[in-house]
Structure 1
Amino acid sequence: MKNVTISMDDELAQRTRIAAARAGQSVSKYLAEAARRKIEADDAADNDRGRNRQLEAIERILAGPKWSVMEDGRMPTSEERNARR
């Protein structure tokens, strides 16, 4: 376990001591748990943003111009689709 020294203004330090006491924890444990929750929330938000970027990319592809595969008003047969031109 690492020891870390932090600086904060007097009012925040007092409020942190009070909040830790209400939670029945030391200031050190209280701040460590707060940091852990913040990091986990940030990681979850990053994952959500990554998923959203992928979804947006797929939506852009699907919203793009449609390819016309119809020939003479009908779908091509497998032989026509696979014919080398």
Structure 2
Amino acid sequence: MKNVTISMDDDLLVQTRVEAARAGKSVSRYLADAAREKVENDRAAAAQAERNRQLEALERIFSGPKWSVMENGRMPTADERNARR
């Protein structure tokens, strides 16, 4: 485990110490847990954004122009569909 030195203003330090004490953690552990949670949330958000991008692409494809297979108001028979033209 590596040590990291950070700087913060006095008011933030006091608030951080209070919140860490409420959580029953040291300031170091409290900040490390907060950083881990932030990283995990960012990764999950990035993965969700990628899934959304892919879904939007599929929706654009599926909502594109339709191919009409109707002939004279009816669906073609298997023989008609497979006939060599």
TM-score, L = length of structure 1: 0.82
Q: CA RMSD in A?
A: 1.7
Counterpart amino acid of residue 64 in structure 2 = G
Counterpart amino acid of residue 46 in structure 2 = D
2:3 is matched with: 3
Matched residue count? 85
Structure 1: gaps (5+ residues): none
Counterpart amino acid of residue 59 in structure 1 = E
List structure 1 segments (4+ residues) > 6 angstroms apart after TM superposition: none
Q: 1:83 to 1:2 in 2, by over 3 A?
A: farther
**% identity of equivalent residues:** 72
1:33 aligns with 2:33: yes
Deviation at 1:73, TM superposition (A): 3.6
Alpha-carbon distance in structure 2 between the residues aligned to 1:31 and 1:67: 57
Deviation at 1:22, TM superposition (A): 1.3
Structure 2: gaps (5+ residues): none
1:75 is matched with: 75
